Chain A
Amino acid sequence: MDATAFNALYTRYARFVLARCRAVCGNATDAEEALQDTFIRAWNNRDRFDGRSPLGWLHTLARSASIDLLRKRRPWNTSPEAWDFDRLLGADGADGGARVDITRLLESLDPIEAAMLRLRHIEDWRFIEIAEHFDMSERSVRRQLAALEERARVRLADA
């Protein structure tokens, strides 16, 4: 793939990759950094790309780039602005105590768990879509999210 073809790839697909990065990372700045990182990975590996399913290939690279970025960002940005607590907790659970505790919960998560939680409860993705994004089975995603939600319930009950 030469520079012209690579430019065309970027022009066609970057906005789709950026939208996913934003869903996973939760803010525009990190999403743009993940987007750049995705296409740098694509550029560096362009000789290995077989030409089939460019968007699928880019999403695979974006998944790694986003998670690597989230890992680098520890501790999380667990502010209400980043996480939209009202949506995460529901209107009834969004009092101060619950927010403090959900913040602690978020801080204890690993990047993939945090991203899964965000995609499910804030971005409103379906289980199968989260599974597809992380290359996992839908069953595993359901199980992991159920475990995370149980941890959240326990914390909120104790708060």
Chain B
Amino acid sequence: MSITRFDLELYLLDELDPQRRGEVQAALDADPDLAERLERLRADVDIPVPAFVPPPLQIPEPANRPWRWAMGLAVAAAVGITALVVLRPQGPQMTYRGAMELDVQVVRNGVITAAGSVIQTHPGDLLQWRVLSDTDGHLTVVDQQDDGVWAVWKSAPVTAGLSVEGTVQLDGYQGAERVWFVVSDAPLQVDAAMLPAGVDVATTDRLTVDGTQRTLLLTGAP
């Protein structure tokens, strides 16, 4: 049985299946040289890692990506069925129309960083976002601060398989604010959709609207 560096990496990550992990553990117990290799690897990977700087988002050209349509339809069918079967009975009465992909990047002092769903923001940050829906519809991007003030960032039709993107310069709001990306059949009635006064945007991540939605939470840097 040969134990490779890759096995040892997966061992450290705890990603080996139980049988292989058992084999590796037995080999480590029996072979001091292998155990020493593991310790050397542990030291090798115990290093500071620089931040990742992703490339700027690009809008795909439809002529170059015809496969998106077929894939979009397939994903729509799969996700639609899953949503109807799994999601609908558990949540509020909302329609899940399909799948939506959301990519977000923050540009700070010229450095682009891929962002997660919670972003600590600084005044002057640029928020770049890209939405790819697998259904036709209408995209609404709306931001609501924890003081109840809301603003629509984007309201535009979307076509399945074609991404829509935008950039917003953040104003350094110190509280929490939430951004929703909603793809619905018709333009969203925003004033009816937003959270009523007193509802905490930090802990409320869904709007009660028909459509597919994704959300980000922005928190001002202390």
Give A residues with C-beta under 8 Å from B: 2-4, 6-8, 10, 12-16, 18-19, 22-23, 32, 35-36, 39-40, 43-44, 55-56, 59, 125-126, 128-129, 132-133
Residues 101-134 of B, flagged 1 when their CB comes within 8 A of A and 0 if not, give 1111100000000111100000000000000000
| Chain B residue, CB-CB nearest to A14 | B49
Q: List 14 A-B contacts (CB under 8 A).
A: A3-B103, A4-B117, A7-B116, A8-B116, A12-B13, A15-B45, A19-B45, A19-B47, A39-B54, A40-B54, A43-B55, A43-B114, A55-B15, A129-B4
- Contacts A3-B104, A19-B44 hold; do A14 and B52 have CB atoms under 8 A apart? yes
Asked if B50 CB lies within 8 Å of chain A CBs, one says yes
Which B residues from 2 to 18 make CB contacts under 8 A with A?
2, 4-6, 9-10, 13, 15
- Contacts A19-B45, A43-B54 hold; do A132 and B103 have CB atoms under 8 A apart? no
CB neighbours of A125 from chain B (8 A): 5
B59 to chain A, nearest CB (A): 14
Asked if B53 CB lies within 8 Å of chain A CBs, one says yes
Q: How far is the CA of A114 from the CA of B101 in the complex (A)?
A: 42
A29 to chain B, nearest CB (A): 11
Q: How far is the CA of A15 from the CA of B6 in the complex (A)?
A: 14
Asked if B46 CB lies within 8 Å of chain A CBs, one says yes
CB neighbours of B114 from chain A (8 A): 3, 6-7, 10, 43
Q: Specify which of B4, B9, B49 is in contact with A18 (CB 8 Å cutoff).
A: B49
**Chain A interface SS verdict (over half):** helix
A85 to chain B, nearest CB (A): 21
CB neighbours of B49 from chain A (8 A): 14-15, 18, 35
- A32 pairs with B5, CB closer than 8 A: no
Q: How far is the CA of A18 from the CA of B53 in the complex (A)?
A: 15
CB neighbours of B105 from chain A (8 A): 3
A77 to chain B, nearest CB (A): 20
Q: Specify which of A3, A35, A126 is in contact with B116 (CB 8 Å cutoff).
A: A3
B120 to chain A, nearest CB (A): 13
Q: Specify which of A2, A39, A126 is in contact with B101 (CB 8 Å cutoff).
A: A2
CB neighbours of A44 from chain B (8 A): 55
- A16 pairs with B9, CB closer than 8 A: yes
CB neighbours of A19 from chain B (8 A): 41, 44-45, 47
